[in-house]
Structure 1
């Protein structure tokens, strides 16, 4: 199983990195539309809530325009931060004006809603991440538990694991 996971991670990351700029833009916009609808259907409105997203790496979908839109609408945006290796993530407040720097950025927050980036996913909600275990460790420690949804591309759907 470990060998399969490693091979799938490489395959899925390479496929994602091979997407054209136009394909990435289309995916980012489609995800933003879908997330807006999920937030509306699930919460009615998110003003006053804390929404955790992420800074995209390795070809991940870029939801920063949605993050800026939600921030403007009164939502607190938080980014996960690895402060210490192999321990749960810390969430730090984000605004469109903040430039990413190493170290502490404002005050820690706990999200009401969290986006978990993924490389692959199955219909029964299995998430194939980068293998660091950060999101799994973090989600296990949060109380109250946030509403969590994985963020990936349709082509990353895994038929079997």
Structure 2
């Protein structure tokens, strides 16, 4: 009995493996488009001489140096009088990543909306997409049925 060439067997296996990988790629489509949100705030206004000790809240990053920024005012009570004095504050920032699905994907795992020929809802509706939605198709109203 004659053995087949190993090259032919390797070619066959490579073709099957490539098909499987491509099939998996199309079957498992999950698209997450997280959004980065940037928040900014200023520390409490205080005497400029003491401003260098002002810290941003935990998790925030101070973006100003030294005395910070001038231009704010703070109040001091002296006896029965309240004085408004010029002061300094620091700018702080915090970047937060908000989980979000790309358009045409839904749910916490960002599954692909039902589609046909890469058109959500078979091209005849809108998919309830987004991380808090359920992927349901809302059909478009056809003018053919309106009397």
TM-score under structure 2 length normalisation: 0.17
Q: Which has the higher helix share?
A: 1
Report the structure, 1 or 2, having the larger strand content: 2
TM-score (norm 1): 0.16
